[in-house]
Amino acid sequence: MPFTRVQLNDEFWAPRIAVNRNQTLRAQYAHLIETGRIDALKLEWKPGAEPVPHIFWESDTAKWIEAASYSLASHPDDELAAMVDHVIALLEQAQGDDGYLNVYYTVVKPGKRWTNLRDNHELYCAGHLIEAGVAHAQATGSDRLLNVVRRYADYIATVFGRDAGKKRGYCGHEEIELALVKLYRQTGDSKYLNLARYFVDERGQSPYYFDIEARERGDDPASYWAKTYDYCQAQHPVRELSRVAGHAVRAMYLYSGVADIVAETGDPELLAASERLWKHLCGANMYITGGIGPSSHNEGFSTDYDLPNLTAYAETCAAIGLVFWNHRLLHIDLDGRFADIVERALYNGTISGVSLDGKKFFYENPLASDGTHHRQDWFGCACCPPNLARLLASVGEYVYSESELGLAVNLYVQGTGQAVVAGDVALGIKQTTRYPWDGSVRIELTPSHAAEFELRLRIPGWCRSHVIAVNGKRADAVVESGYAVVKRTWDEGDVIDLTLDMPVERVVANPGVKADQGRVAIARGPVVYCVESADNPSGASNIELPNDAEFSTSFEPGLLGGVAVIEAPGLASDPATWGDTLYQASQAAMRKAVTIRAVPYFAWDNREPGEMAVWLPKA
């Protein structure tokens, strides 16, 4: 159900969306201007001038347009609309007569377009422009940018494909696949869907296109820094994949595009591959925060269960991509395991990427810190900030799903919605909850007329006990694939009360995860907690959690924008009592009783710098 039909007025997301609109989108526009990304569209760059337009600058600008468009769709804002129009006008001017639209290959390396798909993000930038064009059209009803990106897509369709004279290439950084499916859905032109399918199916075929184009450039394919095309998911045909590998963001964007194609075509092989990849990712390669891709070396996956905390790469964009992919899988098969992943990433590893004031960003999201890792205003490679902006501006999209059968509530967020279910039933939804701080949810339904349909309420994977009442009477709903199903004739004023038991939990990791061995994480509901030195004067890394420690929870409205804080009695080593001693018999090593105070992981590094830890050793 598109976010345009979902209004959030909760205390968790609504303020974040407002900060995103009022702070983040403005600040990012300023950065796009300051760094030359917008002016580069004037195509006035001359050799020797600084800055040199970069190969992926359009992607940053495009993601910002997409984010701003989403924001405009729910909150009219003349100033923001003017910024968007300014950029769109420049994009219109920057587009070539043939439809081509890429500053780098127009002014920095003219004549070299499509010569290095492997490394240079050309189709990736095109994909983000297409997403921006679709988003802008949906948000504003204007076809201006959509026409631009459609012309570009039409041109791309003349360049790539299996027909004689076309290049059998595909992009080293996936993105255009999912963008083309969006364009297909917006325009109804199956050419775009077919091109997306071509890009997916051609990927990883032998002989490798990246080998061929490298030789055409005069490069030795064997000198590829990443050694194999697993880095960009192009070592094997996509439908044969069974293990996540390589650059995590690229993988997520590819898998999202694959899921889109499955949704459109029902392709059973691609669906089976998706299922294999999902199991591999979520069973052995995902942080508890929904962060993925532990290695900085390839910004991506390494070996199963290799999930180091201090050095976790866990790029913000990768967690966002995980949301995109699992949201798509959820709409192929309404299974709570997909929504669980969406929720895990949304409440933890994605929004950790932005500061509470909306102005600073993490590229990497480690699960432990020695106090030296901090958010930054912007990055040379600035993919993450506008990616967060577009996620936040459209987060309402993840709350509900509608279908012939009825309505599914995927996430619990206070607000309203307008669905269409069971053919012709216009369904008003009002959700009242303090989720994620409280597990009580009230849903009031206002169908346009009394009608029988299913209401599917997601029972989160973290929840081990729940109660459902309809109009005050307990309802024993069967849970199917993670959703409690209440099927009945619904009428105006029907009220559903869902109570999700939400105790503080000690979470342990699979024994394969050596980094977390002997440690526990604290979680409550969907929120993963961490300890920071700001709350724990003994230092986050010196705290140990006794097995029998009892937790207490309190909501602190003035802290970190309003969060539930968890406390427990703990023990802390006292470095001062150790002096020069490096090893001691344990009975001689003094520890002191402390109150462990844990805050949501997503809110870390918003106060004075200090240590942080998610996984605590047992005392």
> Which residues carry out catalysis?
299, 383
Tell whether residue 233 is a contact of its own copies (CB under 8 A): no
The answer to whether 101 and 34 have CB atoms below 8 angstroms apart is no
Tell whether residue 14 is a contact of its own copies (CB under 8 A): no
Tell whether residue 555 is a contact of its own copies (CB under 8 A): no
- For residue 554, the surrounding DSSP H or E stretch is strand 552-556
Helix (H, G, I), strand (E, B) or coil at 406: strand
114 class by beta-carbon count within 10 Å (0-12 exposed, 13-18 middle, 19+ buried): middle
Tell whether residue 506 is a contact of its own copies (CB under 8 A): yes
Nearer to its own copies by Cβ, of 36 and 609: the residue is: 609
Tell whether residue 372 is a contact of its own copies (CB under 8 A): no
The answer to whether 232 and 247 have CB atoms below 8 angstroms apart is yes
How distant, in Å, are the alpha carbons of 48, 113, 201, 204, 284 from that of 303?
43, 36, 26, 21, 9
- Angle at Cα 329 formed by Cα 423 and Cα 331, nearest 5°? 5
Query: Residue 616 CB, nearest distance to its own copies (Å)?
Result: 8
Tokens of 184: 């297909």
Among 205, 434, 574, 607, binds its own copies (CB under 8 A): 574
Tell whether residue 512 is a contact of its own copies (CB under 8 A): yes
Q: State residue 531 phi and psi, 5-degree precision.
A: -110, 135
Stretch that binds its own copies, among 80-88, 175-183, 311-319, 576-584 (CB under 8 A): 576-584
Among 42, 449, 464, 474, binds its own copies (CB under 8 A): 464
Nearer to its own copies by Cβ, of 193 and 284: the residue is: 284
Tell whether residue 86 is a contact of its own copies (CB under 8 A): no
Among 443, 541, 570, 599, binds its own copies (CB under 8 A): 541
Cα Rg, the chain, nearest whole Å: 25
Stretch that binds its own copies, among 195-203, 245-253, 509-517, 548-556 (CB under 8 A): 509-517
Among 119, 544, 560, 565, binds its own copies (CB under 8 A): 544
Q: Which neighbouring-strand residues pair with 617?
A: 519
Among 76, 268, 283, 493, binds its own copies (CB under 8 A): 283
How distant, in Å, are the alpha carbons of 34, 156, 326 from that of 31?
5, 30, 31
The residue count for binding its own copies (CB under 8 A) is 45
Among 25, 148, 288, 356, binds its own copies (CB under 8 A): 288
CB atoms within 10 A of CB 570: 24
Near its own copies in 293-332, by CB under 8 A: 310
Among 37, 150, 328, 519, binds its own copies (CB under 8 A): 519
Tell whether residue 371 is a contact of its own copies (CB under 8 A): no
In the stretch 407-446, what mask flags binding to its own copies with x, by CB under 8 A?
----------------------------------------
Q: State residue 93 phi and psi, 5-degree precision.
A: -70, -30
The answer to whether 177 and 196 have CB atoms below 8 angstroms apart is yes
Among 542, 551, 564, 601, binds its own copies (CB under 8 A): 542
Tell me whether the omega of the peptide bond preceding residue 308 falls within 30 degrees of 0, making it cis.
no
Among 265, 517, 552, 554, binds its own copies (CB under 8 A): 517
Say which DSSP state 12 is in. S
In the stretch 260-279, what mask flags binding to its own copies with x, by CB under 8 A?
-------------------x
Query: Residue 526 CB, nearest distance to its own copies (Å)?
Result: 12
CB atoms within 10 A of CB 409: 23
CB atoms within 10 A of CB 134: 24
Stretch that binds its own copies, among 64-72, 281-289, 431-439, 551-559 (CB under 8 A): 281-289
Q: State residue 589 phi and psi, 5-degree precision.
A: -80, 115
- For residue 343, the surrounding DSSP H or E stretch is helix 336-344
Tell whether residue 158 is a contact of its own copies (CB under 8 A): no
Tell whether residue 341 is a contact of its own copies (CB under 8 A): no
With the C-alpha atoms ordered 65, 62, 160, 209, is the resulting torsion angle positive or negative?
Answer: negative
| Separation between Cα atoms, residue 292 and residue 137, nearest integer Å | 32
Query: Residue 582 CB, nearest distance to its own copies (Å)?
Result: 5
Q: Which neighbouring-strand residues pair with 429?
A: 417, 445
Nearer to its own copies by Cβ, of 40 and 312: the residue is: 312
| Separation between Cα atoms, residue 184 and residue 513, nearest integer Å | 42
Tell whether residue 580 is a contact of its own copies (CB under 8 A): yes
Query: Residue 502 CB, nearest distance to its own copies (Å)?
Result: 12
Among 510, 552, 554, 595, binds its own copies (CB under 8 A): 510
Q: Which neighbouring-strand residues pair with 47?
A: none
Query: Residue 363 CB, nearest distance to its own copies (Å)?
Result: 23
| Separation between Cα atoms, residue 407 and residue 429, nearest integer Å | 10
Stretch that binds its own copies, among 39-47, 261-269, 325-333, 517-525 (CB under 8 A): 517-525
Tell whether residue 32 is a contact of its own copies (CB under 8 A): no
Residue 78: partners with Cβ closer than 8 Å, 6 or more residues away: none
Nearer to its own copies by Cβ, of 361 and 615: the residue is: 615
Among 403, 440, 573, 606, binds its own copies (CB under 8 A): 573
Tell whether residue 550 is a contact of its own copies (CB under 8 A): no
Pairing of strands 466-470, 615-617: unpaired
Stretch that binds its own copies, among 388-396, 441-449, 500-508, 556-564 (CB under 8 A): 500-508
| Separation between Cα atoms, residue 342 and residue 327, nearest integer Å | 7
Helix (H, G, I), strand (E, B) or coil at 532: strand
Say which DSSP state 56 is in. T
| List of residues contacting its own copies (CB under 8 A) | 279, 282-284, 286, 288, 310, 462, 464, 505-514, 517-521, 539, 541-542, 544, 573-575, 578, 580-587, 589, 616-619
